[in-house]
Structure 1
Amino acid sequence: MRIARLVTLVLTAHGSADPRSATVTRAIAGRIRRIRPDLDVRVAFCEQSFPALPDVLGSLRGPAVVTPLLLADAYHSRVDIPALIAASGVEARQAPVLGNDPALLAVFRQRLTEVGVSRHDDGLGVIVAAVGSSDPSANAATAEVARRVASGTRWAASTVGLATRPHPSLAEAEEKLRAAGAQRIVVAPWFLAPGVITDRVAEFARARGFAMAQPLGAHNLVAATVLDRYELALTSVSGTWSVAAPPVAVAQRPGA
């Protein structure tokens, strides 16, 4: 049995000028603490919100796993966060992003159910609204969310509409669903928290008379997924610590 010094979990969100985003991040951190009261959980942001990731890392006395509160594996997870960790000079490892984990898809379906969506509605079309990325692989992962959320349903179709990229736009997503036979359309935001971009999506939905589900939010399954990514980073044989690996004490199993 390996008994390791507890490593701080630094829950790291992108940050936003909209305070609702930081509120959700802190609420998720609170749920993580309730699940793992033994674990030191800190909140940090890459930009616009406080505390900033470099400041949080600089305040630690031991190793940390920087766990991105991000759905997409794109610029922020591949460039921003690694650069901030490297510049900090502290003992830290970065966990994988949350991605389209089955637990998050379960929350996504729950949010749709909350606005009256039935999996048996064969006249329904669902727009999975996402932020969009310059990285094609990130957009492909979002398209996979649209496919998976519709799996096992009788919906007419589901498709992605990007809020910040030109194609496919939310309007183009609507056209695609209409062409597939959708008589009713619901907008499902593939976002963790409300903010400026989800407000833009909501304006589109209101103008069209579409119902819109809530973002994933501070759900226990979101917190559990964060913890899963933290554990993956701790146990990864390929991951490296930015300075040095944390000391690990090795104890023999009883009777060994």
Structure 2
Amino acid sequence: MRSPVLLVIAHGSRDPRHAATVHALVRRARSLRPGLRVETAFLDFDTPSVLQVLERLADDGGADDVIALPLLLTRAFHAKSDIPAVLREAAARLPRLRIRTAEVLGPSPLLLAALERRLWETGLRPSDRSSTGLVLASAGSTDPEAIAVIADIARELRHTGWCAVRPAFASAALPRTEDAVRCLRSDGCARVAVAPYVIAPGRLPDRIAEGARDADVLADVLGPAPELARLLLERYDGARVRELAALAG
């Protein structure tokens, strides 16, 4: 019996670095499970689209079971509206395909591990936490649930020993990165680091970087971190387990 295809659905961007990073992440996940068929699709700007990939899967006869994984860190508009709408349209057009949706990536301890990996890659050490204020800089959202998740993550990080942790947003919500940096300075932190809680480069991560100009440290985006690749497979496996549990019940 064939395993379901894993379809990773990214948002897409006019910035070519976005798609390149998504493809690098998917390649890493594929390398962790060589027997698994993993496909990539984009909601906007980049190709192939979700419908194009699903039509190809339906036409080639090599797959009839798909688990769609939103490459998103929180359950905001794209997870609640855009992706379900696209998948409903695909299911109506392609009745021979069985399409299920995995959970979004966050929150997860693996994301925090990837975030800290990027911080240590700047030259910071775990022992620097106590003197370093951390800005957890996300893309931002108008969805209160997504904003609350970022605030919860900031509180969780504070308990790991950072001098102070403040959330910030590149759009749709406040504070901005530069404001969070100033607040941490006024809190008395000897050093300020900005950790982008975003997957791939693009317009909003560039806005985060601009807001971090007065910080001492700016980490890279999460990108194809090994922890993130493992998380893709964890969400895929979770979708399969939920289905088996439903069938057993």
TM-score, normalized by length of structure 1? 0.86
Is 1:64 the counterpart of 2:61 in the alignment?
no
Equivalent in the alignment of 1:114:
121
Alpha carbons 2:76, 2:146 under 8 Å: kept: yes
Is 1:232 the counterpart of 2:238 in the alignment?
yes
Deviations along 1:69-94, one digit per CA (max 9) or x if unpaired, are 11111111111111111101242001
Equivalent in the alignment of 2:3:
6
Alpha carbons 1:8, 1:40 under 8 Å: kept: yes
Which of 34, 37, 41 pairs up with 1:44?
Answer: 41
Q: Find the aligned partners of 2:222 and 2:157 in 1 and give their Cα distance.
A: 14
Is 1:172 the counterpart of 2:169 in the alignment?
no
Is 1:189 the counterpart of 2:196 in the alignment?
yes
Q: Find the aligned partners of 1:103 and 1:110 in 2 and give their Cα distance.
A: 10
Equivalent in the alignment of 1:98:
105
Is 1:22 the counterpart of 2:13 in the alignment?
no
Q: Find the aligned partners of 1:59 and 1:18 in 2 and give their Cα distance.
A: 26
Alpha carbons 2:132, 2:164 under 8 Å: kept: yes
Equivalent in the alignment of 2:94:
none
Alpha carbons 2:114, 2:226 under 8 Å: kept: no
Alignment: residue pair count: 236
Q: Find the aligned partners of 1:149 and 1:78 in 2 and give their Cα distance.
A: 26
Equivalent in the alignment of 1:217:
223
Alpha carbons 1:128, 1:189 under 8 Å: kept: yes
Deviation at 1:236, TM superposition (A): 1.3
Look up the SS of the partner of 1:191 in the other structure: coil
Residues 15 and 239 (structure 1 numbering): CA distance in 2 closer, same or farther, change over 3 Å? farther
Deviations along 1:72-120, one digit per CA (max 9) or x if unpaired, are 1111111111111110124200100000211111111111111232343
Look up the SS of the partner of 2:48 in the other structure: coil
Equivalent in the alignment of 1:152:
160
Which of 82, 85, 91 pairs up with 1:83?
Answer: 85
Amino acid at match of 1:130: S
Q: Find the aligned partners of 1:20 and 1:191 in 2 and give their Cα distance.
A: 13
Deviation at 1:37, TM superposition (A): 1.1
Q: Find the aligned partners of 1:209 and 1:182 in 2 and give their Cα distance.
A: 11
Specify every segment of 5 or more residues in structure 1 that has no aligned partner in the other structure, as ranges: 246-256
Deviation at 1:169, TM superposition (A): 1.8
Alpha carbons 2:181, 2:215 under 8 Å: kept: no
Alpha carbons 1:67, 1:229 under 8 Å: kept: yes
Amino acid at match of 1:71: L
Deviation at 1:209, TM superposition (A): 4.8
Deviation at 1:211, TM superposition (A): 1.8
Amino acid at match of 1:215: V
Q: Report sequence identity in percent.
A: 37
C-alpha RMSD of the superposition: 1.9
Q: Find the aligned partners of 1:205 and 1:24 in 2 and give their Cα distance.
A: 22
Look up the SS of the partner of 1:11 in the other structure: strand
Amino acid at match of 1:158: V
Alpha carbons 2:178, 2:212 under 8 Å: kept: no
Alpha carbons 2:11, 2:43 under 8 Å: kept: yes
Q: Which has the larger radius of gyration?
A: 1
Which of 126, 135, 144 pairs up with 1:136?
Answer: 144
Deviation at 1:175, TM superposition (A): 3.5
Specify every segment of 5 or more residues in structure 2 that has no aligned partner in the other structure, as ranges: 59-63, 92-96
